[in-house]
Structure 1
Amino acid sequence: MEIGKFNRARVESVTPQGYYLELETGGRVLLPGNKHQFELEEGEILDVFVYMDSEDRPIATLDKPYAQAGEFAVLTVKEVNRIGAFLDWGLNKDLFLPYKQQLGDLQRGDKCVVYILVDEKSGRLVATEKIKSFLDLDTSELHIGQRVQLAAYEVTQDYVDFLVDYRYTGRLMLTRGMQRIYIGDTMPGFIQRFTSDGKITLNLTPVGYKGLMKSDSPDAIMQKLAEAGGFLPYGDHTDPDTIREEFGMSKKTFKKILGTLFREGKIDLGDDGFRAV
């Protein structure tokens, strides 16, 4: 049987304790319940989720958890005690997040981004916040401009790292005026570009020419400025073709946005280019 996953099963027998199921992958497991809760017949085929009960015995349920083993999830902390945290994942029995698998102090009500796995020693289902080794680094199926689902798992002053479609990782560079983002926040996003080592750079708004944000948004320039370390060698001296190649906008639009950012106190303009304030 596959612990922590959905299994195809056949009802083998009906007992006062519930229904004994024969799993397609092998093994026999109890589905607790009676005819007042749900009624099944011998020989009936169904899909059940198999996990370990409080006495570490395999048990089946018709309930659907928010995620299964081998998947990422954003879950809420229900309880914290001396051995770790317990997360709400949609079942009666909470999911255990051991202290050694946590990245910081957690309190009841906090959200955390975890990967669910079967502990090799105990055979129990556990969660870990140490998710980086489980991320898929092959981004060949993705493309610039693609809309993706994001879940924030690391937040710093300069950037936020997100789960991308609950499979990959991507980075959003923060600029002044952006709404604050917290761990566990989910939102749609867009792939802006891929770095030379295959990492994903993200935007929260649709991308346009060459994967940059729409040219009518000052965030397009501020994000590129942040990625360049706070200075870009472009200005009145730069020819229009270079502006269009680098920013995906006309030189007229580029100069208008620079003027707006300068008046807002976000950049300084110089003969050699412009820099973040």
Structure 2
Amino acid sequence: MIIPEQINELKVVKMSARGAVLSGGEEEILLRDAPETLQIDDTIRVFVEFDDKGKLFAHTNHLFCEDGFDLFEGKEVDLICMEETKLGFSMIINQRYTGLLYHSDVFSHIESGDKMRGYIKTLRSDELIDLCLNKQGYLNRIDDETDIVIKRLKEHNDTLPYNDKSQAEDIYSCFGMSKKAFKRAIGKLYKQKHIRITDKGIEINT
């Protein structure tokens, strides 16, 4: 059975000039962006959706992308383990996206097919998603970012010429983090009244 609007694991039944034909029991569906290595009788995980004419089709672009507006860092999500990799576990997120749960964030036995709740840890600039199994994993990363900002400020007499209007390249050169992470860090420090944000940059409250 093929289920629209989520990831399905389907079998390749034939190849055509338009792509690979996948089977989900009695139904067949076209995979337009079939990998060159795909062969008949292989199984593949694909995302299934409707085209403009209301016909189902499959594609492999089920990583985080521009239509992933429903995801944000710290959000609680449903996870299904696909397989273990060298870095961790490849997970299906909310039946729509895929992400990675690193070995360092796992403290219990996990097998393929296991279902669990988790959190979006990082929406990476390369359109991949890092996961964690508890909220603290996300919060710890934010604490690391704020620590870096405070450290850099103290190294430069408590003031730096960077704020949320600074160029991403300049921010990375100084702090080693993305502009998004920097804005998140200074936002938290500002709310905690540890820093002031001015038109000229940021400075430690004294």
TM-score, structure 1 length as denominator?
0.36
Q: Which structure has the bigger radius of gyration?
A: 1
Name the structure where helix makes up a greater proportion of residues.
2
**Could you state the TM-score of these two structures normalised by the residue count of structure 2?**
0.45
